[in-house]
Every structure is written in C-alpha cells, then in structure tokens.
Amino acid sequence: MPGWMSGDAAHHTGRILVVEDDAVQARALGVVLCHEGYAVETATTGAEALERTHGVPGPDLVFLDLQLPALSGTEVARRIRAASGVPIILLTARRQESDKVVGLDAGADDYVSKPFSPNELLARVCAQLRRGRLPGWNERRLPRTGRGVPRWRASDRAAHPARHPRGDR
C-alpha cells in the first residue's frame, strides 16, 4: 500500500509526489526532500501518478519525469492540470527549448533539467509552495542559507546516517 515517506515530523512542510521510473533517481530525490522535512511518495508510471494525485491526502507538489513508460509525462501533466491546481515541476534529461515549451504548455509550473543541483531544486520547491500558500506554510521552519534558500549538502548523509540509508549501493 502506498504511503508518504516522511522526514522529521516536527519539520514537516508539505507532501511531494515524485513521479520517476528510475528507482535510483527517485530515491536520491526522496532523500533530499525528506531531509528538508517533506513527506515524499513515489510513482513509477503515469497511471500511478494520476491515481496518487487524486488520492486523499493528495500531494502539495508533483515532480514529474517526462520520459515515463506507457503514458508520457506531458500527458500526465495535462491530466493532472485538468483536475487540479497542484504545482507541477518537470524533471527531465531533455534540454531542448521545444521540450520545455511543450511541458509548460501542458500545465507544468516549472522545468528542471537533469542533472540538477539539490539547492536549486529545493529553492524551486519553496517558490512553488510559497505561490500556492500551502496551508500551515511557515518559512521560518525551513533550514536556510543567508539568502533564504534551503541548503542541502552531500556531507549531510554522513552527519545524519539514520536519515540517509545507503540502500542504493
């Protein structure tokens, strides 16, 4: 049964659905997001993503890979957008301007090319959730750098081994 994998409950800032068919990439993204206090759920297909966005509780934000098996990420974005205003951030290895335009036209709110920086990714999450005025949103609860952007470092894995299991070796 699917469920929300959660970071520090006292630090919980929202629910994020990661739609990615590559298990290693999904896990890496989940680790970064959980470390920042987000509850994370994953889906590996477009059909699973649609099912989970309509579930209760639904996600507060969706990361969506464009290259999914069977149902494309672009079509998933269109269907999510037709039923919901949840922010959608596309994650993809595609870097062509035309791919970005198609994804944004399908209803995505943002577009991030792989590989991506965890810091940039977290800043984009904060921006989307801020725009949506997530219930209970409290910017002071997020770890920040001097510029007001959440910070994640690879060294966090060593400092917090319980939060960063190494099951992906």
Longest dimension (CA), the chain: 43
User: d(Cα 52, Cα 41) in Å, to the nearest integer?
Assistant: 9
Would you say residue 27 lies in a domain? yes
- Is residue 161, in this structure, part of any structural domain at all? no
* CATH number of the domain encompassing residue 82: 3.40.50.2300
Separation of alpha carbons 124 and 78, rounded Å = 21
**Domain for residue 6, yes or no?**
no
Q: Count the domains in the chain.
A: 1
24: Cα separation from own chain's centroid: 14
For each of the chain's 169 residues, which pLDDT tens digit applies? 345 455 444 445 789 999 999 999 999 999 999 999 999 999 999 999 999 998 878 899 999 999 898 899 999 999 999 999 999 999 988 778 888 888 899 999 999 988 888 999 999 999 998 886 645 444 433 333 333 444 445 444 444 444 444 443 3
Q: What is the pTM of this model?
A: 0.73
Looking at residue 116, what is its pLDDT? Answer: 85
